[in-house]
Structure 1
Amino acid sequence: MAVALAGFIGVTGAGTAQGAIPPAPGWNLQWGDDFNGADRTPPSAANWQTDTGHGYPGGPGNWGTGEIQNYTASPDNLSLDGNGNLRITPLRDGAGNWTSARIETQRADFKAPAGGTLRIEGRIQMPNVTGDAALGYWPAFWALGSPYRGNYWNWPGTGEFDIMENVNGINSVWGVLHCGVNPGGPCNETTGLGASRACPGASCQSAFHTYRFEWDRAVTPNELRWYVDDQLFHTVRQNQMDAGTWANMTDHAGYFILLNVAIGGAFPDALGGRTPTAATVPGRPMLVDYVAVWTRGGTPPTDPPPSGSSTLYARTGAGLGDSTGSASSATLATAGGANYDGTPHTPQVFTSSGITRTYNGGATQFDLFVDAGTSVGNGQQVRVSYDRTGDGTWDRTETYEYFATDPVPGYEHYTQARGLKSATGSHGDLVNGKVRIEVWNAIGTGASTLGIGNQSVVRIPFG
């Protein structure tokens, strides 16, 4: 998706989801999302983060590709469709401004195990639009090397796998590798090392097809392979480039996966002139039935990381520790009828310091036991902060959506599945760093209880 000319298979009708992630005999499922949920609800915040605007903060403008749309989290642009699909819909307003959507996995550690193979697959229907009406459409299913996250200027050295790209409604899928240096280099940037072919059977736009990428470390030389509906159409081998370029692309924590529909930019313009045009029709969505990651053979990375290095418990005395301590509880003060959504109000604070661990590319997880007793309309909220060096500066702060407890006595589980409300800063390795957890009542008129000791746990993305 950069500036570039860049086991269960079946083709079914437009808009039709096939249900659960299909079995893949001989493969081990590592992660997946089949996008089940109610119409106009967002994709799982535990699995995905939503990109907004015209670029990453501090990164290149227009996402580095010249695309023109503004990415939003609006359900008009990004939502489940209620039929088992993710729906990404580009729209144009009366002034000619385009909006669309782009999401990326929370996890950034998808990697072929040593001596084994990684498989990333999605079942997707491209926007069902062709001809002049499609000029400027640029749907994509792709992956970026984890060191890009938070840096945004080290492309293409850390690697990019374009599993499926398409522009201008052409009946073709492009598979592209980006690596090395820009311009030129062993990957011929900014074009990349790519190939394309027509979708088998029905066109790419009129039906679902299955797009797959494999990174094979079980063969010598190692291979990268691209498939559509189980048909191989592109291969790049390790011996096509120097050892340093290959190592820069593969010897890091892994990759994160992206789905988006851009409008305009270098790739559509290269094949259709200046795009979009007045004839371009908005409102034609890309539908994604599932995305899944499998591995086969080799020695897979530990997932999740060993609990001793990543699991912290809220404990008596406002500490966070890697042992449970004594089971107890802490009182969360009432919000007093005010709204403290996103702003800690007399929170319970738990802190751990002196932590030296390596960021694994994942995301924060938590399971907090909370109870509002018989109070009606209470909502508890958590903020997790990371100080990488222990200097008192919180380099990464994550505030999660509040959890509305029921008015029935008894603990309930508040987890990261509620979704990330906001985040500032970026992750990085902890060197004598600190982690802080703040829990408070965001809304309501009654106090709440937080279980501590062995009752509330936070799993930080560090090994």
Structure 2
Amino acid sequence: MTVSRTGWRRLRVAAISFAVAVGGAVVAAPPDAHAGLPAVPAGWTQVYGEDFNGAAGSGLNTGNWLYDLGHGYPGGAANWGTGEIENMTNSTQNVYLDGSGNLVIKPIRDGAGNWTSGRVETQRTDFAAPAGGKLRLEGRLQQPNVSGAAAAGYWPAFWTLGAAARGTGASGWPGIGEIDLMEDINGRSSEFATLHCGVAPGGPCNEYTGLGSGERACGGCQTGFHTYAMELDRSTSPEQIRWYLDGNNFFTVNANQVDATTWNNATHHGFFMILNVAIGGSFPGAFGGGPTGSTVSGVPMIVDYVAAYTAGGGGGGGGGGKAVKNANGLCLDVRSSGTANGTPIQIYTCNGTTAQQWTYVEAGTTLHVLGKCADISGGGTANGTKIQLWDCNNTGAQVFIHRADGSYYNPQSNRCLDDPAGSTTPGTQVQIWDCNGQSPQNWTLPV
């Protein structure tokens, strides 16, 4: 977000000169949703798509989405680090499907003046631009249809955080990267696009403001659906992030605007997508403040779809390998497509990304992915020792022999590659365990 929802930013310091029409509340019925996900753009591979189909009044599919709850991440800053005041819930009063292919996120004020709303994140954290390729994230949505005094404090957004934010209270912000596709505040019929990176305050990315577009006109964005997208392009030199409104590129950040380490730390990894409507906080405060007694309750952001695409660089299922699938239906995966030594190897929803493109090489005893090997942490031999990604080194910690019962046997430890307790939770790191022939140790061969 332009003023961080992760725990550290406080205030956008400069208002941008921008002419907007100011009026009263306008709360209209939503336009018809898009008829399904759009056609995949030429040259791209779709790696994720969510059309929000479901029964009216039902909640989200928690296999694909998680609900953020309360006033901040566990272990993170209060009020999401921004001063916003709403309590995020998983109630279908705040977050629900409308039965017509839309997700609705509705902020509500109760009789005592307390606000509730919704903030949801993709379970997947591995939306990444492959080396030499591109990532495109896109969503079609309608901003809350409210303006003027009635909109004071409204703060809808479609944005992303680097995968390292998950489970850490976003403690590495802003260095872990944040890309904001759409923010609007106080019903101004506008939008902001921003990259956050580096250190705060100040630093190479001018935090807490970030490298942003400033306020851009977004005519009709409150009364109808519009498409917001960003492309992280690692196929060009310098690398770029480009933002699009209805297909028009309106803002670009080049990698050479910051030092290489800052850029790589912010962009060369997986991301997860976030949709939310906040109330109050320092960003709305910088443009007039709110909420006030005139702010209207119950005006939603309506989301038709979100999608992720990759192109080039071996992404979107390329790379020459194949999935290694467990009996539980989940795939062996490198967390957030990371390539650093020590990155956890986990089970995850099968998605065809390069983090799941395994090859079985070196006389059929070593599992390779992303140019590295599956490795037993520290060369350990005890039950429960975790599996990680590491430079291939021909040690016994990297030998996994695929056997007739579907297990991958490691002779050094005399144990097998194992899904802990038969977990079906995406993101569970795999381990070694006594070989037992049971389904948690039943894996396919990538041939």
- State the partner residue of 2:200: 182
**CA–CA separation in structure 1 for the residues paired with 2:187 and 2:220:** 10
Conserved? CA contact 1:109–1:146, under 8 Å = yes
* Superposition CA RMSD, Å: 3.5
Residues in 1 aligned to 2:255 and 2:346: alpha-carbon distance in whole angstroms: 25
Distance verdict in 2 for CA 1:303–1:54, change over 3 Å: farther
* Deviation, structure 1 residue 46: 1.8
SS, match of residue 294 in structure 2: coil
Mapped to 1, the partners of 2:272 and 2:308 lie a distance apart of 11
Partner of 1:294: 309
Give yes or no for the alignment of 1:270 onto 2:255: no
Deviations 1:19-77 (CA, angstroms, capped at 9, x unpaired): 21111222211101011111111122121111111111111111111111000000000
Local SS of the residue matching 2:227: strand
Q: Which runs of 4+ in 1 moved over 2 A?
A: 3-6, 196-200, 301-308, 356-365, 388-394, 425-436, 456-460
- Report SS of the residue matched to 1:132: helix
Conservation of the 8 A alpha-carbon contact between 1:137 and 1:167: yes
Q: Residue in 2 aligned with 1:156? A: 174
Matched with 1:258 is 274
Change (3 A) 1:457 1:294: farther
- What one-letter code is carried by the residue in structure 2 that aligns with 1:295? T
By how many angstroms is 1:361 displaced? 7.8
What displacement does 1:173 show?
1.0
SS at match of 2:213: strand
1:249 and 2:266 equivalent?
Answer: yes
Equivalent residue for 2:185, pick from 164, 167, 175? 167
Is 1:98–2:115 an aligned residue pair? yes
Q: Deviations over 1:394-428 (max 9, x none)?
A: 9xxxxxxxxxxxxxxxxxxxxxxxxxxxx9x9957
Q: Deviations over 1:379-407 (max 9, x none)?
A: xxxxxxxxx9978799xxxxxxxxxxxxx
CA distance in 1 between counterparts of 2:296 and 2:434 reads: 50
Partner of 1:280: 295
Quote the residue 2:71 is aligned against.
54
Q: Which residue of 2 aligns with 1:146?
A: 163
Give yes or no for contact 1:103–1:259 (8 Å, CA) kept in 2.
yes
How far apart are the structure 1 equivalents of 2:225 and 2:346? 31
CA distance in 2, matches of 1:106, 1:133: 34
* CA 299–291 in structure 1, closer or farther in 2 if over 3 Å, else same: same
Deviations 1:66-89 (A, max 9, x none): 111000000000000111100000
Tell me the distance in 1 between the aligned counterparts of 2:435 and 2:126.
22
- Distance in 1 (CA, whole Å) between partners of 2:347 and 2:438 is 25
Return the alpha-carbon distance in structure 1 between the equivalents of residues 61 and 314 of structure 2.
29
Indicate conservation of the 8 Å contact 2:51/2:102, yes or no: yes
1:202-253 deviation line (CA, Å, top 9, x unaligned): 422111110010001111000001111111111100100011101211233x
Matched with 2:392 is: none
User: Deviation of residue 364 (structure 1)?
Assistant: 6.0
* Matched AA of 1:223: Q
1:80-99 matches, within 5 Å, as: 80-99=97-116
Please report the TM-score for the alignment, with normalisation by the length of structure 2.
Answer: 0.69
Instruction: Tell me the TM-score normalized by structure 1.
Output: 0.67
Partner-residue secondary structure (3-state), 2:287: helix
Q: What secondary structure, in the 3-state scheme, does the structure 1 residue paired with 2:264 have?
A: helix
- Total equivalences in the alignment: 345
Bigger Cα displacement from structure 2, 91-100 vs 295-304:
295-304
Residue 207 of structure 1 is matched in structure 2 by 224
AA in 2 matched with 1:59: G
- Residues 45 and 316 in structure 2, CA contact (< 8 A), matched pair in contact too: no
1:116 correspondence with 2:133: yes
Is residue 347–residue 430 contact of structure 2 (8 Å, CA) maintained in 1? no
**Unmatched segments (≥5 aa) in structure 1:** 7-12, 315-321, 323-355, 366-387, 395-422, 437-451
Relative distance call for 1:82 and 1:267 in structure 2 (3 A) is: same
Gaps of 5+ in 2: 14-28, 333-340, 351-376, 387-422
Matches of 2:313 and 2:385, distance apart in 1 = 41
Distance 1:185 1:357 in 2: 28
Q: Equivalences for 1:8-407 in 2 at 5 Å? A: 14-23=30-39, 24-151=41-168, 152-199=170-217, 202-252=219-269, 254-273=270-289, 275-300=290-315, 302=317, 306-308=322-324, 311-312=326-327, 358-359=343-344, 363=348
Residue pair 2:385, 2:431 contacting (<8 A) in 1 also: no
Distance (Å, rounded) in 1 between the aligned partners of 2:259 and 2:141? 34
Pairwise CA distance, 1:283: 0.2
Q: Percent identity?
A: 50
